[in-house]
Structure 1
């Protein structure tokens, strides 16, 4: 029964992965590089999963089967590059990124003497005693080490990019980082299960390893389908901040002490900023950025970033939303706006997502927009 289930899951997984990869390669989008990288990740996944159908150990086929088996060392590096491209608008693939292929080359070199350079009998002998083979054992150790390192790198990239976005932007694309974080968690769970499967494969409980293999294929299919639905429903999610932007903590370490008369001018600048926000209402722009606000008040963006994020003590994202919510509360209680729906009001004050408006409104007022309006009278 399990073998039939596994066969069906593998076939569906390969079909859906190839379908999504073709879709991403052919999609006309400003996010081509991100699309190509994730499509490449999917193709590497297909190559890895296709091992289910490869049973021959003769000649060239065995060499190709081994290369296919080691392609897994390219999967997480490709996913890592995809996350970089999804987080940073100025990311470009460069020759230095080929360094991520080094683990793949190393493990192939490890198998060179006792596998690739052997005849069929030598290859079969190595594979028939794979549990004791140094090459196989080192392969698993290196793979798990690579998984650990790249998952940490992926989470660090997402966390830093989200902080940059909060400090410099106030649009709706924050949900992209939340989704990327969810994807990273799902991938982490997948590789944790794979680790347990590999441990069991080298133990006396190798029969349980097969059940983990079935579960992994099912989980993998679920992740791919989830990504497909998400990309179709929210194609606008990605490419948010410039990687050249710096966190306020970095700016403070570099030269905040040298900002001209910063301490004396802070109060003046805060009043100037508040007056500008109240009079010009730049927060009504749904995609307002730190740079645009800095241009509006003729203040260097680095100084404005430190002023808002450090002196005022609020992320730019929350700072802008505080003015939007204040404006929304006025409109909700305005008797001349009674005919306006909550949806119309949230668009008018600069939000472009009902969910983000509700979250921000509850954060700043402690209640919902509907309840707030009901209490106005």
Structure 2
């Protein structure tokens, strides 16, 4: 009964995976490469999940079954490449990225003499003993270590992305970090369950193992649906950055011979630039543009981007993100205190001051005032 349930769940998961992959490959998008990598990632997961119901057929074709299992070595690299494609607008696949396929190639080179080129009886014997033998255990451990390596790489990528984004952009509605971070955490949790499931198999706890398989299968279906529907129906959720952008703190050591800005706080020239920046922000109100970037502001002020970025992030000790939002919140406070504008609802207010997301406006407003916009407005009634 449990085996039948596992097979049914896996069939549903594979069907949903292939259907969503088809949509990803055919839907119109500005980030076609990201969709292709995501579709490939989902298809390989479907191939992996298919083992729960396709084995009664593929056990008669050991070569095909072992090749199917070996494709799992490409799943983690594809997720990492997908994260790169989502984070960086200028990301392109290059020959060096083929290095990520080395584990897959090594595994198949090992399988060449012991399975692919072996006699029919040898193929069958290898397949039967693979799951409970040392070879299967080694590849299983390697798979979990590979996952750990790539998931750490994704977390490090997202940390850098978030830092650079906050130093250069202000549009929170399109930030990629939050969603990809949540997705990576979910995948990590599910893989931890898979690792526990594999451990149960080697310990001989078959009943618990089957229950864990059912749990993993059900979660796989829901995660796949959430994952792809989010990408399909909320394309504005993603905003990539230029891979050439680096955190400001990383660029400072390259300023050979220059005096650190913190040592120039008494320098009149620096004070003059800060006054010019603050006066421009107050008079021209560039922050009212929701998609304002540090590059846009630098062009408006006729100032080098790097100089402006260092001025804000180092001398004023603020991310560009927080620097701009502070002006937006101050503008919102003025509107909320104005009796003549009491007819405006909160949504109209945050649109007027440059926000395009209610949640990001509430978060920034409460961070700055310790009150929600409604509480702040009511305090002046």
Partner of 1:361: 365
* Distance (Å, rounded) in 1 between the aligned partners of 2:256 and 2:320: 18
What's 1:36 paired with? 36
CA shift for structure 1 position 96: 1.2
Equivalent residue for 1:142?
Answer: 142
Structure 1 residue 179 displacement after superposition: 0.7
* Structure 1 unaligned residues grouped into runs of 5+: none
Among candidates 315, 322, 341, match of residue 319 of structure 2: 315
Which residue number in structure 1 is paired with residue 172 of structure 2?
A: 172
After TM superposition, the structure 1 = structure 2 runs for residues 125-274 of structure 1, keeping only pairs within 5 Å, are: 125-130=125-130, 133-173=133-173, 175-255=175-255, 258=258, 263=264, 264=267, 265-274=269-278
| Residues 300 and 35 of structure 1: CA distance in aligned 2, closer, same or farther (over 3 Å) | same
Alpha-carbon contact 1:171-1:286 (below 8 Å) kept: yes
Normalising by structure 1, report the TM-score.
0.95
- Counterpart Cα distance in 2 of 1:68 and 1:313: 53
In structure 2, the residue matched to 1:69 is 69
SS in structure 1 at match of 2:90: coil
- CA distance in 2 between counterparts of 1:136 and 1:237 reads 41
Distance 1:100 1:221 in 2: 27
Comparing 223-232 and 238-247, the one that deviates more? 223-232
Name the SS of the counterpart of 1:92 in structure 2: coil
Q: Which moved more, 1:266-275 or 1:347-356?
A: 266-275
**SS of equivalent residue, structure 1 residue 71:** helix
Q: Distance in 1 between matches of 2:199 and 2:13?
A: 24
Q: Which residue of 2 aligns with 1:347?
A: 351
Does the C-alpha gap of structure 1 residues 68 and 249 become closer, same or farther in structure 2, counting only changes over 3 Å? same
Tell me which residue corresponds to 2:50: 50
Q: Deviations over 1:124-150 (max 9, x none)?
A: 222333356343222112211211100
- 2:56 partner SS: coil
Conserved? CA contact 2:63–2:123, under 8 Å: no
Distance 2:379 2:59 in 1: 78
Q: Cα 1:233–1:362, aligned 2, differ >3 Å: closer, same or farther?
A: farther
Match of 1:332 in 2: 336
Please report the RMSD computed on the Cα atoms of aligned residues, expressed in angstroms: 1.8
Aligned residue pairs: how many?
376
